[in-house]
Structure 1
Amino acid sequence: MFKTIETLIENKKESYFTLSDRIWDIAETKFHERESAKTIMAVLKEEGFSIETNIADIDTAFIATYGSKGPVIGFLGEYDALPELNQKSGVTKKETDPSFGTTNGHGCGHNLLGTASLAAAIATRDYLKEQNIDAQIRYYGCPAEEGGSGKTYMARAHAFDDLDMAICWHPGTDNAIIGSPTLANIQAVFEFKGKSSHAANSPDMGRSALDAMELMNVGANYLREHVTSEARYHYAVLDGGGMQPSVVQAHSKVLYLIRAPKGYQVKEIYDRICKVAEGAALMTETQMTVHFDKACSNYMPNKVYSKLMAECMSKVGAPQFDDTDIAFAKELHASLSEEDKKFMMVPPVTPIEKQVLAANQGKVLADYIYPYNEAH
């Protein structure tokens, strides 16, 4: 079976390479992946899939289906990029490219993710047809994974209700099945509006939105001591009120991303941070508005299914790399600090994990399978 599926994928690999490169070149950010979605849908349509668009009223979300009988097998594809990265191939150090941080880029490999999920959907369809097995194969075009939680809106619109199983993957430094849960999160923008005035002549006439934002951030940082130790929250200043210190700033915005192990925990922290923002507005006599951006639940692994996937991965084997791949990876690896390199390593827990890592010490590319462990 594995050899047959491998052959089915290899026979079409050049078209998959072309698609992946095209999605890389487009590099569209959350909820704006119009050309990316259109490009992937064109390939699926050519393969005989029927396409349903505008899922959950999102114009870059879609479902491609092949077959009408049997179990419903879903493959999740993502194709959104991140802002302020770099899109030049072959660059191993940001110092060598002055355009770094000026464009959108596929920093998390979603050009690969969406393409490989598509390849898996087509290969599964072809294999089941050869074996005379009925099944409905679906490719879910999932937008805005990077800070938009597109799948959350799709789930709320019941897009996944009749699935029997769903499969996804993500590029990474190891070949492994993720056996541990992830954190739930909420993202929101806090906007403050005050009153401008001359900071020297009439500061008493002004109401500083910048002061309000800074007070909110101070309060939120003090709050860290009083939430679960597993929680994380971070913020980015979107608007500091302008470039002139001689004017009391009348507007400001800050974006918060809050994470915690469970959905109810992240909601509690979000509510408390909203109160901190309200307090900051009261102290500065400014107006505060919360723009709720997105939220998603904690990922809960299917342990039975994960173990099966780990067995299949071991039978298929890890990818093999040529000298060019290894040389490029070494350049990338050399640009990392020792701290970065340690962070990239999955800490070994079991004896077999320690044995695998010891046998592959010093490799810059993982041409081995990491043992399945529910702790990772």
Structure 2
Amino acid sequence: MRIITVLGFLLLAVPVTAQEAIENPNKKAVVASVENQSNSLIELSDEIWSHAEIAFKEDHSSEALASYAESRGFRVTRGVGEIPTAFVAEYGSGEPVIGILGEFDALPGLSQKAVPYKSPLVEGAGGHGCGHNLFGVASLGAAVSIKELIEKGEFEGTIRFYGTPAEEKFFGKLWMIRAGLFDDVDVVMDWHPGAETKANVQSSLALVDFLVEFEGQAAHASSDPWNGRSASDALELYTDGINMYREHIKPTVRIHYHIQDAGKVVNVVPDYAKIWTRVRDTRREGMEKVWKQVERIAEGASIMANVDYKITLISGIHEILVNRTGGAALQKNLEALGTITYTEEEENFARKIQEATNSEVVGLDMEINPLEETEEHPSGGSTDVGDVSFVAPTIRLSATVAPKGTPWHSWAVVATSGMSIGHKGMQYAAKALAMTMVDLFEQPELVEEVKAEFRERKGDYVYEGMVPPGPPPLDFDQD
């Protein structure tokens, strides 16, 4: 086994046995390309990790990725979809057009040092609690390896990297889709940092985000409260209504809310209140039924409190449209690539993370999980990749960047995303994605099979994005 020392970390290359299992010369070439980019990819990932910029504010992170793409010979178009931090990097021409997604936004309030105990890097600042500092970099590294083969004439077509901001809050891909940026793509590659390595053939949850605002009449809370109409009362009635409703929804449904304004001082009847509400379900049609009922609850609350109300759509996303044909192709490449191998130091780091988060102390998952059966009603989160998957067939990967049982969207993922455990998962993902893209470029019949499954699963459904008219909410108050 060859060992490479990079930036003070011991980073293991693909085991010799795995390299021997990769017979295709173009796949060998992309694996070598990712390894040759190793120093640059780690530096780029750590740079994005250190800035930890939140939705629509990812100026430095976006520019770092776009500049790297330009330095490697890509044509870069910045500010696409009316989003300053969104961009597209492309190389080649003609068909097939193979896209690959890259996210890079962080989460508010999760700042953390690369240590196995909670210790903010900058108190109150953002942190990559979903590993997106690794996400965009791995995808771009894979795209570069394919670009090099097109440049050498090994195959024809177009490789296109999508720099997609604001996945964590506003779902930036929705506006990129609306701008037509995915209209001509044949297949899209996607991955996400995780605690296990597998071809991801599970769906996600559809969701909708909307604001409810109540407006009443201010008054002195002691001397003449009878002259007041409390917006805060309406907000409380609204949340009570939601919580009563929970008994009567299906187990697949999730409802969340975040109170953003419920008054400023105790001695004034509040004349304004605001709450962000999110509704999810495993299918869009199920989500929509609950969404409309929750909106009716807001109306009822306004009537009871004798105040006015307004509902504003922020955005909404579809569930993932699974593509098992693409997943099976990816699975073969995972098995050929082999497992990620960790040092004892990395295993100890992982176990300390598990101890600190009250998780089972079992270390890191080094297995290549078999291709799963697709569940009808999966658990888990939501992603705007779901909308991409209704526009173009999408092949998805999960790669290990954190210990098993790690709470996601937490300081623990920030910690591993900023050190060698995350770096290894990032490079592994780049290799697996690139190898699968080699299959797509070399096998037109595979592209057609992936597209045929996409058409069959989508059926006669006509995709329409859940975004309000006008530009993205770039100036939205994120506090």
TM-score (norm 1): 0.89
* TM superposition shift of 1:87: 3.4
- What is the RMSD of the two structures over their aligned residues, measured on CA atoms? 1.7
Which position in structure 2 is the counterpart of 1:251? 272
Q: Secondary structure at the match of 2:191?
A: coil
AA of the residue aligned to 1:41: A
Which position in structure 2 is the counterpart of 1:294? 315
Query: Is 1:193 matched with 2:218?
Result: no
Residues 27-69 of structure 1, C-alpha deviations (whole Å, 9 max, x = no match)? 1111111221111100001111111222221111111110113
Residues 87-141 of structure 1, C-alpha deviations (whole Å, 9 max, x = no match)? 3222x233x55965x1111100000000000001011222344462112010001
Q: Tell whether the 8 Å contact from 1:74 to 1:137 is kept in structure 2 after alignment.
A: yes
Query: Is 1:368 matched with 2:367?
Result: yes
Q: Tell whether the 8 Å contact from 2:229 to 2:305 is kept in structure 1 after alignment.
A: yes
AA of the residue aligned to 2:87: F
Which position in structure 2 is the counterpart of 1:352? none
* TM superposition shift of 1:294: 1.2
AA of the residue aligned to 2:330: M
* TM superposition shift of 1:264: 2.0
AA of the residue aligned to 2:139: S
Task: Answer 1 or 2: higher relative contact order, Cα 8 Å, separation at least 6.
Answer: 2
TM-score (norm 2): 0.70
Aligned match for 2:91, one of 36, 41, 66: 66
Query: Is 1:12 matched with 2:34?
Result: no
Q: Tell whether the 8 Å contact from 1:73 to 1:163 is kept in structure 2 after alignment.
A: yes
Alpha-carbon distance in 1 for matches of 2:340, 2:354: 19
Which position in structure 1 is the counterpart of 2:202? 180
155-164 or 115-124, larger mean C-alpha shift: 155-164
Do the aligned partners of residues 336 and 87 (structure 1) sit closer, same or farther apart at CA in structure 2, a change above 3 Å counting?
closer
AA of the residue aligned to 1:372: L
Q: What are structure 1's unaligned runs of at least 5 residues? A: 342-361
Alpha-carbon distance in 1 for matches of 2:320, 2:173: 12
* TM superposition shift of 1:218: 0.8
How many residues matched? 350
Residues 253-274 of structure 1, C-alpha deviations (whole Å, 9 max, x = no match)? 1111110111122222212111
Which position in structure 1 is the counterpart of 2:257? 235
* TM superposition shift of 1:292: 1.4
Alpha-carbon distance in 2 for matches of 1:252, 1:210: 6
Q: Secondary structure at the match of 2:232?
A: helix
Aligned match for 2:117, one of 88, 93, 105: 93
Alpha-carbon distance in 1 for matches of 2:246, 2:171: 25
Alpha-carbon distance in 2 for matches of 1:194, 1:31: 32
Which position in structure 1 is the counterpart of 2:80? 55
Q: Tell whether the 8 Å contact from 1:178 to 1:374 is kept in structure 2 after alignment.
A: no
* TM superposition shift of 1:11: 0.7
Q: Residues 190-339 of structure 1: matches in 2 within 5 Å?
A: 190-242=212-264, 244-338=265-359
Q: Secondary structure at the match of 1:289?
A: strand
Query: Is 1:119 matched with 2:146?
Result: no
* TM superposition shift of 1:323: 2.1
Q: Residues 129-168 of structure 1: matches in 2 within 5 Å?
A: 129-130=151-152, 132-168=154-190
Residues 7-34 of structure 1, C-alpha deviations (whole Å, 9 max, x = no match)? 1111111000110011111111111112
Alpha-carbon distance in 2 for matches of 1:316, 1:127: 19
* TM superposition shift of 1:280: 0.7
Q: Tell whether the 8 Å contact from 2:102 to 2:140 is kept in structure 1 after alignment.
A: yes
Give aligned-pair identity as a percent. 33
Q: Tell whether the 8 Å contact from 1:86 to 1:99 is kept in structure 2 after alignment.
A: yes
Q: Tell whether the 8 Å contact from 1:147 to 1:294 is kept in structure 2 after alignment.
A: no
Alpha-carbon distance in 2 for matches of 1:35, 1:148: 19
